[in-house]
Amino acid sequence: MAFLSDKKNEELKIKANDIRKSVIRMLVEAKSGHTAGSLGMADVFTLFYFHVLKHDPKNPGWEERDRVVLSNGHICPVLYAAMAHSGYLPIEELKTLRKFGSRLQGHPHREFLPYLETSSGPLGEGLSQSVGMALADKIDKKDSGRFIYCFLGDGELNEGNNWEAIMLAGKNKLNNLIAIVDRNNIQIDGNTEDIMPLEPLIKKWQSFNWHAIEVNGHDFKSLNSAIEKAQEIKDKPIVILAETVASRGIKEWEGDYRWHGKPPSKEEGEMALRELESRK
């Protein structure tokens, strides 16, 4: 993985800001969708699509590409925005989010947008799919040089299916699998620790034979270092617990669980865009 220079770090900050603006515009146009996680994960997706991933937007079916699985599919606005800004689809198409006949459905649908690795909607399934991909690569001896990256939400860890997948990955020492958990501490009904406590989360993953790393999900250099470290692990699957702030970038909304599945109104969107523009 390439070294993250100071110059590239600044470029990524600008790109993440642009992606957040695209997310706001998409949600305002759609009048529906999920704000908190999409804004909160903008830095993570920016780093992946513009620095980490081995991929080719001009040849999305490239056999040697890394695989990206979005398990918490409701934050697909940030996935679509990152893909558009990196060249997979026209940025103008982002305005079709959640519209009838659009390729950009409210949850990712592989039949509509073949660049996606999986369809997702029901929470708790993406990690199992990712374990299957990683295990298949091991069996086919295609696990050298490419990774399966699975993005999932912390509230999603309430789903028992995840823990079956975690056990299987640990048993098979799938070091070609890297899970990234959006640890923003909120879910649709409130704070994760009030609804179904997850802590001590890092120890739980470790007890299932995973290498676990905690990192600031908004610090590009720290996050990049965590991914570099993850790629060097040889005997375990890896989880990166990315500590993020829900609705990052819009001060009035940050950390508020009520923005989990709420789109901004036209006026709220204009306010948010002004705030993001001021960051320049």
Distances (CA, A) of 166 to 52, 163, 171, 237: 24, 5, 9, 9
Per-residue b or e along 83-94, where b marks 16 or more CB atoms closer than 10 Å to that residue's CB? bbbbebbeeebb
Tens-digit pLDDT profile for residues 128-156: 999 999 999 999 998 888 999 999 999 99
87 — pLDDT class (breaks 50, 70, 90): very high
**Domain coordinates of the chain in residue numbers?**
6-278
160 — pLDDT class (breaks 50, 70, 90): very high
Tokens of 121: 């909607």
Q: By C-alpha distance, which of 205, 207, 248 is closest to 230?
A: 205
Mean pLDDT score, 193-200: 97
* Domain 6-278 indexed as CATH 3.40.50.970: yes
Tokens of 99: 């519209």
161 — pLDDT class (breaks 50, 70, 90): very high
Q: Is the pLDDT of residue 1 over 90?
A: no
Tokens of 55: 């991929």
Q: Is the pLDDT of residue 280 over 70?
A: no
Tens-digit pLDDT profile for residues 41-78: 999 999 999 999 999 999 999 999 999 999 999 999 99
Tens-digit pLDDT profile for residues 90-103: 999 999 999 999 99
DSSP category for residue 197: -
Tens-digit pLDDT profile for residues 250-276: 999 999 999 999 999 999 999 999 999
Mean pLDDT score, 207-212: 98
Estimate the crossing angle of helix 76-85 against helix 6-30, to 10 degrees. Answer: 120
What is the rounded CA–CA span in Å between residue 102 and residue 118? Answer: 17
